[in-house]
Chains A and B, each alone.
Chain A
Amino acid sequence: MSIVLDVQGLSKSFGGVVAVSDVSFTVDKAELLALIGPNGAGKTTCFNMLMGQLAPTAGNVFLNGEKITGMAPRKVWRKGIGRTFQITGTYSSMTVIENVQMALLSHHNRLFDVRHYAHKQYQDEAMQLLELVGMQEQAERACAVLAYGDLKRLELSIALAHNPKLLLMDEPTAGMAPKERIALMQLTADIVKDRQISALFTEHDMDVVFAHAHRVMVLNRGELIANGSVEMVRSNAEVQEVYLGGGNLYNNAADTHHA
């Protein structure tokens, strides 16, 4: 398998406080990889370093062999990483399709165009992306009136606009109902498979993680304490102690089919 993302010895400290310490891992092509851990373990800090929102104190990030450490988010994006956020950040003054068109305009380097009407550009392409996530019927609605689950799907289609090689998803199902969660992750898993994109996501819903992740990494106090298959991570005693707990709060392996 070819390696898409290669993270080597990534560390970050904020004024002496170590948030992430010597984290190394790889993401393979078309792999759906989960990053879990307690709040404050450094998951978001890790993500922000991968995407360029934060500069690491030490370590390097390679995308398809090219070093992207410390690049600004907009440059990282142009290198082929798409991102969704824990709290959606779509443009609330635009319609659904315009949100996607905006990403397409940026991808095609048309941001300084002052001649054409923006809403007439790349309509078909935008529509295809919306169809991919099942949002085509809501294309002309104002983004501000969308239900939360729909916003999450829209965000996913925006993240796919520039044909990324890797998706970074920070708690993609946060704030969604159980049914929607599974549906969104199923959709993500299908996209990963069909388009051969890799995806790295953080998540607190273990039902989602255990049902879809190809591999799971566990972060605690800034350090990677486990990295392996779902079964391996679930049975890891340290992971149970710091994060999973007694197992009352997610489905047991035996009854994943009903809540």
Chain B
Amino acid sequence: MLKLSEINSHYGKAHILNNLSFCVGPGEVVSLLGRNGAGKTTTVKSIMQLVRPSSGDVDFEGQSLVRSAPHQVAKLGIGYVPEERRIFTDLTILENLEVGKQPARKGIAPWNQQRLFDIFPNLSERRNNRGKALSGGEQQMLSIARTLMGNPRLLLLDEPSEGIAPVIVEQMVTTILKLKEEGLSVLLSEQNLHFARLVADRAVIIESGEKKFDGTFDELEANTEIRDAYLSV
């Protein structure tokens, strides 16, 4: 469904991604793991074309994304939930959802306010509140809901658990699993291994922009070398 082939990305003079390749299959939840600065956010932004890869290809359902504008990538069916949520704090919840709204897409039950409020009941109660009145957890929910309004086939979640209380992260686990049931594919960039393990089918570990591991969590559990080098506490 999504395939990155030998991506190289720079940020200013810094070489962030180094020949990175991996893929996300239909209906699959893949977790992108690695420490801060490893290049997770740059990977996600390179898919969205918010960062332009200097070489390599990003392929989504047979279509190359490089040289597309971010809004074209979104229109193709990739939903982006950014790091630090980035909701529109001056807009109400309903207005935030309006910004994310895109036409329905074939093969996907179209998202609307009602369906989203069923999943995120907290948002429903506060639908006319401005974004700035929401707590961090609610803002994260809104950020996901806003992106779902675009009826994406693939969801890119960039560090959704960062700075969120464990009890809210547990709700997020339920939400992501529900979305998976709906047939959505998810690429989850995370540092929290506990969280990633609960939702993802597969883990991709990167370090200094290079892929170090690609496999299931059971394989990861068995691979002490990798675990100790990049993840262990």
Contact = CB atoms under 8 A, between A and B. Distances in A.
Interface stretch (A116-124, A155-163, A175-183, A190-198): A175-183
A248 to B, nearest CB: 6
A148 B231 CA distance: 17
B233 A244 contact: no
B182 interface: no
Nearest to A251: B233
Contacts of B191: 175-178
A188 to B, nearest CB: 16
B82 to A, nearest CB: 14
Interface stretch (A33-41, A59-67, A74-82): A33-41
Interface string B7-40: 0000000100000000000000000001111100
Contacts of A175: 36, 159, 162, 191
A37 B167 CA distance: 10
B233 A207 contact: yes
A87 to B, nearest CB: 9
A243 interface: yes
A39 B233 contact: no
B195 A38 contact: no
A206 interface: yes
Interface string B81-97: 00000000000000000
Contacts of B37: 147-149
Interface in B34-72: 34-38
B170 A182 contact: no
Secondary structure dominating the interface of A: loop
Nearest to B137: A39
A244 B167 contact: yes
A178 B136 CA distance: 22
B130 to A, nearest CB: 13
A248 B198 contact: yes
Interface in A205-259: 206-207, 241-246, 248-251, 256-259
B170 A245 contact: yes
B176 to A, nearest CB: 14
Nearest to A220: B165
A148 B233 contact: no
Contact of A149 (B36, B135, B137, B231): B36
Given A40-B136, A178-B233, A179-B35, A248 B165 contact: no
B197 to A, nearest CB: 9
A230 to B, nearest CB: 15
Interface in B160-182: 161-170, 173
A128 B23 CA distance: 47
29 contacts: A37-B165, A38-B168, A39-B163, A39-B164, A39-B168, A40-B138, A145-B14, A147-B36, A148-B37, A174-B163, A177-B191, A177-B230, A178-B191, A179-B35, A179-B231, A179-B233, A242-B167, A243-B165, A243-B166, A244-B167, A245-B170, A248-B170, A249-B161, A249-B169, A249-B170, A256-B233, A258-B232, A259-B227, A259-B233
Interface of A: 37-40, 86, 145, 147-149, 171, 174-180, 182, 204, 206-207, 241-246, 248-251, 256-259
- 5 smallest A-B Cβ distances: which pairs? A177-B35, A39-B136, A40-B135, A245-B167, A38-B165
